[in-house]
Amino acid sequence: MAAPEFSQEQLDEIYAFAVDLGRKAGQLLLESVEKRLDGGSQTIEEKDSAVDIVTQTDEDVEAFIKSSIHDRYPAHKFLGEESYAKGQSREYLIDEQPTWCIDPLDGTVNFTHIFPMFCVSIGFIVKHRPVIGVIYAPFQDQLFSSCVNRGAWLNEKRRLPLIHKPSIPPMPPTAPGKCILSCEWGKDRRDIPDGNMYRKIESFLNLAAETGSRGGKGGMVHGVRSLGSATLDLAYTAMGSFDIWWEGGCWEWDVAAGIAILLEAGGLVTTANPPENPETDPIEEYKLGSRLYLGISRPAGPSETETGRQSQERTVREVWKRVRQLDFSRPGA
Ligand code: IPD
Are 151 and 215 part of one and the same domain? Answer: no
Q: Whose CA is nearest to atom 3 of ligand 1?
A: 229
267 in a structural domain: yes
Q: Domain span at residue 124? A: 8-159
Are 25 and 151 part of one and the same domain? Answer: yes
Distances (CA, A) of 266 to 159, 227, 230, 257: 11, 22, 19, 15
Q: Domain with 299 in it: what CATH number? A: 3.40.190.80
Q: Which residues pair with 181 in a beta bridge?
A: 224, 244
Instruction: Please list, in sequence order, all residues whose beta carbon lies within 8 angstroms of the beta carbon of residue 203, skipping any fewer than 6 positions away.
Output: 183, 246, 322, 323, 324
Are 281 and 311 part of one and the same domain? Answer: yes
CA of 310 to the centre of ligand 1 (A): 31
Are 152 and 253 part of one and the same domain? Answer: no
Answer whether 319's CB lies under 8 Å from 180's CB. no
170 in a structural domain: no
Are 30 and 134 part of one and the same domain? Answer: yes
Are 207 and 286 part of one and the same domain? Answer: yes
Answer whether 312's CB lies under 8 Å from 263's CB. no
Which of 159, 188, 209 delimits the end of a domain? Answer: 159
Taking the CA of residue 105 as reference, the ligand 1 atom at the shortest distance is: 16
Is residue 177 helix, strand or coil? coil
- Strand ranges (DSSP E) for the chain? 44-46, 53-55, 77-80, 99-106, 119-126, 129-137, 142-147, 152-154, 158-159, 180-182, 223-225, 244-245, 268-269, 296-297
Q: Domain with 133 in it: what CATH number? A: 3.30.540.10
Give me the tens of pLDDT residue by residue for the chain, a chain 333 residues long. Answer: 556 689 999 999 999 999 999 999 999 999 999 999 998 888 888 888 888 878 899 999 999 999 999 999 999 999 998 878 776 678 888 999 999 999 999 999 999 999 999 999 999 999 999 999 999 999 999 999 999 999 999 999 999 999 999 999 999 999 999 999 999 999 999 999 999 999 999 999 999 999 989 999 999 999 999 999 999 999 999 999 999 999 999 999 999 999 999 999 999 999 999 999 999 999 999 999 998 886 888 899 999 999 999 999 999 999 999 999 999 988 776
Res 219: pLDDT: 98
CA of 122 to the centre of ligand 1 (A): 15
Are 41 and 149 part of one and the same domain? Answer: yes
124 in a structural domain: yes
Q: Based on the structure, what is the number of domains in the chain?
A: 2
Are 138 and 190 part of one and the same domain? Answer: no
Start-to-end CA span in the chain (Å) = 26
200 in a structural domain: yes
Query: Which residues form ligand 1's pocket by a CB distance below 6 Å?
Result: 81, 103, 106-108, 184, 186-187, 228-230, 249-250, 254
Which of 159, 194, 229 delimits the end of a domain? Answer: 159
CA of 229 to the centre of ligand 1 (A): 5
Res 306: pLDDT: 96
Q: How many CA atoms lie within 13 A of 240 on its CB side?
A: 23
Are 18 and 113 part of one and the same domain? Answer: yes
> What would the DSSP string read from start to end of 40-94?
----EEESSSTTSEEEHHHHHHHHHHHHHHHHH-TTSEEEEHHHHHHSS------
Are 198 and 111 part of one and the same domain? Answer: no
3 DSSP assignment: B
Res 88: pLDDT: 63
Are 112 and 187 part of one and the same domain? Answer: no
Q: Whose CA is nearest to atom 11 of ligand 1?
A: 186
Which of 128, 159, 190 delimits the end of a domain? Answer: 159
Candidates 253, 239, 246, 296; CA nearest to 108 is 253
Q: pTM, whole model, 2 decimals?
A: 0.96
155 DSSP assignment: T
278 in a structural domain: yes
237 in a structural domain: yes
Q: Whose CA is nearest to atom 12 of ligand 1?
A: 250
Answer whether 133's CB lies under 8 Å from 126's CB. no
Are 149 and 245 part of one and the same domain? Answer: no
Answer whether 160's CB lies under 8 Å from 153's CB. yes
- Binding-site members for Mg(2+) are 81, 103, 105-106, 254
13 in a structural domain: yes
- For residue 318, the Cα-to-chain-centroid distance in whole angstroms is 21
Candidates 191, 312, 307, 187; CA nearest to 240 is 312
308 in a structural domain: yes
